[in-house]
């Protein structure tokens, strides 16, 4: 990982969030470096998805602020795109229509938006399925459509809420490898929610460990030594294995 000072794409400052009497987030602050992937990791119910939705502008904070490229977030915006856990595809629309839908809403001409959609359909490994419908695709393929749709709108920040949790282990591993390639090639900032320690360490430039509700940042870990190695070597790297064990040791007491 690059160890030089990096500009932040997203800055969360002293955010509080309550659901009635339940305090979800308490005075939470966290920086997300530009062009890198940050994973949010912590026990179930610790507020990972809540934080992601606040950053996306889908949920208001009770207090505090979120800045994207220095500008305060007051709602959804074209600088952010959300990849949902449940795909959120239009069942009546083809792959290319689903991928191009965000551009269609912006009024981009059909020929232009389909050219962009075709680029990202190929980038996520779905070339040849442009005219297929969601019911004709596997779960992994549908999630690739959702990822291509998020990429196609050219948002600077991609927010991914457990995007690989609904696919089998083999597909998940391939997704993780593809994600590393996207982080390297797309020059975007990725915010990634996962429950998997191994996945977080494998794909991340930065891992933010959140405490149980009310959530605060417990620790920030920046994997370094193995980041530039071949993807087939990472899972066998001693630093990778040590980090997985270290994170599990810090989270073990919070697991019921």
Percent of the chain with pLDDT over 90: 49
Whether pLDDT at 26 is above 50: yes
> For 136-157, what is the mean pLDDT?
88
> For 20-33, what is the mean pLDDT?
93
Whether pLDDT at 3 is above 80: no
Q: What is the pLDDT of residue 227?
A: 67
Rounded to two decimals, what is the model's pTM?
A: 0.87
Whether pLDDT at 54 is above 90: yes
Range with the poorest average pLDDT among 139-148, 153-162, 220-229: 220-229
> For 83-90, what is the mean pLDDT?
78
- What single DSSP character describes residue 41? E
- Cα separations (Å) of 53 from 11, 14, 57, 83, 193? 14, 16, 6, 11, 11
Q: What are the sequence ranges of the domains in the chain?
A: 1-70+155-164+175-256, 80-153
Q: What is the pLDDT of residue 210?
A: 92
Which residues on adjacent β-strands are paired with residue 66?
A: 12
Which residues on adjacent β-strands are paired with residue 15?
A: 28
> For 34-62, what is the mean pLDDT?
92
Q: What is the mean pLDDT of the chain?
A: 88
- Helices 139-152, 95-105: crossing angle, 10 deg rounding: 30
Q: Find out whether the peptide bond into 165 is cis, omega within 30 degrees of 0.
A: no
Residue 10 vs residue 229, higher pLDDT = 10
In terms of Cα–Cα distance, which of 160, 241, 237 is closest to 198? 241
Q: Provide CB contacts within 8 A for 180, sequence distance 6+.
A: 203, 231
In the block, which residue shows the tokens 């990096």? Answer: 6
- Cα separations (Å) of 133 from 91, 118, 138, 153, 173? 7, 15, 10, 20, 24
> For 231-238, what is the mean pLDDT?
78
Q: What is the pLDDT of residue 256?
A: 62
Q: What is the pLDDT of residue 162?
A: 85
> For 24-40, what is the mean pLDDT?
94
Domain 1-70+155-164+175-256 top-level CATH class: alpha beta
- Cα separations (Å) of 30 from 6, 9, 14, 216? 14, 11, 9, 9
Q: What is the pLDDT of residue 150?
A: 87
Whether pLDDT at 6 is above 80: no
Percentages of the chain per state (helix, strand, coil), in multiples of 5: 40, 25, 40
Whether pLDDT at 92 is above 90: yes
With beta carbons less than 8 A apart as the criterion, state whether 241 and 190 touch: no
> For 230-242, what is the mean pLDDT?
81
- What single DSSP character describes residue 115? H
pLDDT tens track for 114-137:
999 999 999 888 999 999 999 999
Residue 10 vs residue 84, higher pLDDT = 10
Q: Following DSSP, what letter does each residue of 158-204 receive, concatenated?
A: EEEESTTTTS-HHHHHHHHHHHHHHHHHH--EEEEE-S-HHHHHHH-
Q: What is the pLDDT of residue 1?
A: 42
Percent of the chain with pLDDT over 70: 93
Q: What is the pLDDT of residue 58?
A: 93
With beta carbons less than 8 A apart as the criterion, state whether 33 and 3 touch: no
> For 79-99, what is the mean pLDDT?
87
**Residue 193: band (very low, low, confident or very high) from pLDDT cuts 50, 70, 90:** very high
């Amino acid at each position: 990982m690059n160890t030089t000072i990096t500009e932040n794409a997203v800055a969360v400052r002293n955010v509080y969030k309550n659901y009635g009497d339940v305090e979800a987030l308490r005075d939470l602050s966290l920086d997300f470096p530009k062009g890198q992937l940050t994973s949010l990791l912590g026990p179930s119910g610790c507020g990972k998805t809540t934080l992601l939705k606040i950053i996306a502008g889908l949920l208001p904070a009770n207090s505090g602020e979120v800045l994207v490229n220095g500008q305060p977030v007051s709602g959804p915006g074209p600088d952010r795109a959300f990849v949902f856990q449940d795909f959120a595809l239009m069942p009546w629309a083809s792959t290319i229509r689903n991928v191009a839908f965000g551009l269609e809403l912006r009024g981009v001409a059909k020929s232009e938006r389909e050219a962009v959609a075709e680029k990202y359909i190929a980038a996520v490994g779905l070339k040849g399925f442009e005219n297929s419908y969601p019911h004709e695709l596997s779960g992994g393929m549908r999630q690739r459509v959702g990822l291509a749709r998020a990429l196609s709108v050219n948002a600077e920040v991609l927010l991914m809420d457990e995007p690989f949790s609904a696919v089998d282990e083999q597909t998940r591993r391939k997704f993780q490898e593809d994600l590393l390639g996207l982080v390297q090639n797309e020059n975007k900032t990725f915010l990634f929610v996962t429950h998997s320690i191994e996945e977080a360490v494998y794909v991340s430039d930065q891992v933010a460990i959140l405490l149980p509700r009310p959530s605060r940042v417990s620790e920030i870990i920046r994997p370094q030594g193995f980041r530039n190695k071949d993807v087939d070597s990472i899972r066998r790297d001693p630093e990778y294995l040590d980090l997985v064990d270290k994170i599990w040791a810090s989270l073990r007491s919070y697991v019921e």
